Structure 1
């Protein structure tokens, strides 16, 4: 795998940003286009954490799967009320930039998005509100309830992110509200039984089922080290991804 550290200018954000990219080693002279997983980091982490603290490179290498790890800063992966349009950047601008720069498939069925913690919330939101760009959306131990997310904010003012609405329920930040109008996307939710977010994940899975959106929920092992737990979750997800999309994952598009 090639590990690329990319600095680029985002027109949507109006500033220079960076991303980490894992790109499969090409074979032969034919130009090959790879399926791509966009990985969103949690609040308090950086986009390099996936490479430093999980074995994502080895999992991706086995399947010729490209990995894009953008920076989310303190945005909660939203188009901020007072701030930058990170949701638009991640779901619209970033795939277009990456597909111009690298030999990546431009087919929706070959684009996937996942994240841990708040990154998982952003990935689920992308799967609901930007389903035209992503066929599979996954979260690892992620919060679902929007009021709970706002209440737990520590160093960031919720108004800066989500606006002045007295109740976020029913807004475009509420996964339940946007799920009611979502098109077909496959959702994968992994969460520990003892996680504070387990009940939220369970209830949202049932909600997706009721809407006819096909969810998969995985109850993960209880482990003290969160990065070991996350690495196991990522490994299981990539294996599931390969089994679910066996017509594209592991087969390069020419």
Structure 2
């Protein structure tokens, strides 16, 4: 695998930004691993970070480069700050950035496939919310979306009782009433997708540890999706909101992805 730290300017955000990119490389003599390429432009996983992290965190806390090597898949890890991958009420247009500008730039810089069936998104915590939102709002662009311990019920975050955190959420989403039933509400988005009768429905994956503080949020979202009749791969087992769990589960995600043979 080749690892590239890419510094670039975002017209959407109006600032310089960063993404880490792992590109497949066919290798046979590399000690400890072999690399694979699928031929042509690479299938790509856009891998999103959590609230307190950045573009470097997946490389620092997991073996994502080693895991991805055997699948011949590229991995793009952008910096999105504390944005919830949202066009913020007070701040940058981070959903437009990650859904439109980032793939366009990454696919112009690197040999990445622009085919829907080769494009996937996953993330943890805030990034799990972002991954599901990308898949649900842009089913024409993503064949699969995966959430690891995701903040699947954003409106419930307002119930935490932390005044500073609530104010931060309001700068991102507006009031909880503005969030509910909007394009930033995953429950609303799944309802819209179920009612659309679209043939372009991304495969969905969700996991959460049973000791995670977001576990009840994930159960509510899981039950809602299943009630709507949308296909969902759901996994749970003992685990907390921590990197040992995510290092294991990202391997499950890579195995689950509908990669073309």
TM, length-normalised to structure 2:
0.86
- CA distance in structure 2 between the aligned counterparts of 1:46 and 1:15, rounded to whole angstroms: 16
- CA distance in structure 2 between the aligned counterparts of 1:90 and 1:205, rounded to whole angstroms: 25
Secondary structure at the counterpart of residue 180 of structure 1? helix
When residues 198 and 191 of structure 1 are mapped into structure 2, their CA distance, relative to the original with a 3 A threshold, is: same
- CA distance in structure 2 between the aligned counterparts of 1:149 and 1:48, rounded to whole angstroms: 25
* Cα offset, 1:206, TM superposition: 2.4
Secondary structure at the counterpart of residue 192 of structure 2? coil
- CA distance in structure 2 between the aligned counterparts of 1:53 and 1:136, rounded to whole angstroms: 23
Please identify runs of 4+ aligned residues in structure 1 that moved more than 6 A. Answer: none
- CA distance in structure 2 between the aligned counterparts of 1:34 and 1:16, rounded to whole angstroms: 26
Secondary structure at the counterpart of residue 89 of structure 1? helix
- CA distance in structure 2 between the aligned counterparts of 1:217 and 1:24, rounded to whole angstroms: 28
* Cα offset, 1:32, TM superposition: 2.2
Q: Which residue of 2 aligns with 1:12?
A: 12
- CA distance in structure 2 between the aligned counterparts of 1:128 and 1:150, rounded to whole angstroms: 22
- In the comparison of the two structures, how many residue pairs are matched? 242
Matched-pair contact (CA < 8 Å) for 1:31–1:103: no
Q: Which residue of 1 aligns with 2:246?
A: 230
Q: Which residue of 2 aligns with 1:203?
A: 220
Matched-pair contact (CA < 8 Å) for 1:221–1:229: no
**Aligned with 1:172 (options 177, 183, 190):** 183
* Cα offset, 1:164, TM superposition: 4.2
Q: Which residue of 2 aligns with 1:111?
A: 119
Note the residue ranges of structure 2 that are not aligned, 5 or more in a row.
28-37
Matched-pair contact (CA < 8 Å) for 1:140–1:233: yes
CA offsets 1:146-171 (integer angstroms, 9 cap, x no match):
22223447556222101246453212
TM, length-normalised to structure 1:
0.88
